[in-house]
Amino acid sequence: MADKKLVEEITSRDENFTQWYTDVVRKAELMEYSSIKGFMIYKPNGYAIWENIQKKLDGMFKETGVENVYLPVLIPESLLEKEKDHVKGFAPEVAWVTQGGGNQLTERLCVRPTSETLFCELFRNNCHTYRDLPMVYNQWCSVVRWEKTTRPFLRSSEFLWQEGHTIHATAEEAKERTLQMLNIYADFCEKELAIPVIKGQKTDKEKFAGAEATYTIETMMHDGKSLQSGTSHNFGDGFAKAYGVQYTGADNKLHSVYQTSWGVSTRLIGALIMVHGDDSGLVLPPHIAPVQVMIIPILQKKPEVMEACMKVKEALRAAGISVKVDDSDKRPGFKYAEEEMRGIPLRIEIGPKDIEKGQCVLVRRDNREKSFAALDEVAVKAAEVLEQEQQDMFERAKAFRDSHIYDAHDYDEFKDIINNKPGMVRAMWCGDQACEERIKEDTTATSRCMPFEQENISDRCVCCGKPAKKLVIWGKAY
């Protein structure tokens, strides 16, 4: 009964999604708040997910020629101020260092909210001729943006991310790189995180401060809300001109470079929780789970049980599966509840009766499906089950999302859907920012993106009725 109770400490997902989210974060021991308001501590279970995200994404980046660098945590105020839209976007939310080494500083330094300005300086100092191009850099770091209201992984005053920054000789090459990285994010989300994405372009209202175009991958959480899960920005030559990044071309003339930046953050952990989690806690896709298999001995005091568990563990490890044995002195039922809360994709139970039959029990986390495997074939079987679970989780998330996207043809329909049905709305837009603002005011929904897959579902703007220019995905967002 203690097992049951343990699980019951998580609020039901459909009853109160916000409380459910907080409960899962806490019970799975992913993070906790520090004594500074809005600053998170990533505990081992949470940070291990980020490490796996880093490892996989970093490999994908490097395959395309990305090189990692590290730039200072502090940025002088004067450097931040050089690009006007940019400083306007970030200045209100930065933290300022005003004292250092016992002295008042002559210039304020901000703790980096993003590093565009530092990269511009680096590029200016190192880019001389066309032979130096492209420069394709990335940085894994933390950034600080003072937030008034915070939520674990989704919005906090410090968060972890990667920020890629590149410069190119031509506008075309910059645009290509912007889209290439967006596609990497999309592939990563779908194949590793099992989260389906919509790729599209942000409207001018929603794009990054100082960018010419911002591309995004938008995902749908289980409560129907949208989460912007990764963005890729094409800066054109705006930053380059503001910071004087130029090169001598093959034509012996000076040219501005074309610049991009792109990033994903620990928000992705929030997405993992809210797309896949259930009333028993976290559910992690096998490809990203730090521990893929938990072996739980039944009657572990019997030596043959622990022996069989260790043998299975070694077989799985040899097959490249990340595996642990829970040999603590808790009861098996308690252990089940615990590894379910933590979202471990596969549980293997081994008891004396199983050993007699030369088998063990496999239980999937996502759907509790039970299967059996011969002890000497368990590694192959476990790999198959994990791969199936990964695919099923993606298909399930995609089916859920697709069944929660609605078309709206006029404003009444739009408002009805957005107010009564959790999910996203597809509707046509005239291109006027006033309509975006009105929709936001009336419904709190925002334009998530102009999806790459355009379709004409009406000739009229859903808001003002004027001729429509673009299909837009609308939604309430985190």
Binding site for its own copies (CB under 8 A): 32, 34-36, 39-44, 47-48, 50-51, 67-76, 79, 92-102, 108-109, 111, 118, 121-122, 125-126, 137, 141-142, 144, 146-148, 157-158, 160
Cis peptide bond prior to 134, omega within 30° of 0: yes
Contacts of 416 (CB under 8 A, 6+ apart): none
Minimum CB distance to its own copies smaller for 37 or for 469:
37
Minimum CB distance to its own copies smaller for 9 or for 459:
9
Listed residue (246, 253, 319) closest to 286, CA to CA:
319
Minimum CB distance to its own copies smaller for 38 or for 451:
38
First to last CA, the chain: 37
Minimum CB distance to its own copies smaller for 47 or for 406:
47
Q: How far is the CB of 315 from its own copies (least distance, A)?
A: 19
Helix, strand or coil for residue 279? Answer: coil
Owner of token pair 């998330």 = 397
Please state, in angstroms and rounded to a whole number, the distance separating the CA atoms of residues 355 and 378: 13
Q: How far is the CB of 129 from its own copies (least distance, A)?
A: 13
Minimum CB distance to its own copies smaller for 32 or for 376:
32
Q: How far is the CB of 113 from its own copies (least distance, A)?
A: 11
Q: How far is the CB of 374 from its own copies (least distance, A)?
A: 31
Minimum CB distance to its own copies smaller for 93 or for 432:
93
Q: How far is the CB of 35 from its own copies (least distance, A)?
A: 6
Minimum CB distance to its own copies smaller for 92 or for 320:
92
Listed residue (417, 409, 318, 308) closest to 353, CA to CA:
308
Judged on CB neighbours under 10 Å (0-12, 13-18, 19+), 63 is: exposed
How many CB atoms neighbour CB 312 within 10 A?
24
Q: How far is the CB of 463 from its own copies (least distance, A)?
A: 33
Please state, in angstroms and rounded to a whole number, the distance separating the CA atoms of residues 8 and 2: 10
Q: How far is the CB of 209 from its own copies (least distance, A)?
A: 17
With vertex at residue 5, the alpha carbon angle to CA 2 and CA 9, rounded to the nearest 5 degrees, is 140
Q: How far is the CB of 121 from its own copies (least distance, A)?
A: 6
Minimum CB distance to its own copies smaller for 108 or for 381:
108
Please state, in angstroms and rounded to a whole number, the distance separating the CA atoms of residues 286 and 293: 9
Strand locations in 249-325, DSSP E?
A: 254-256, 258-265, 293-297, 323-325
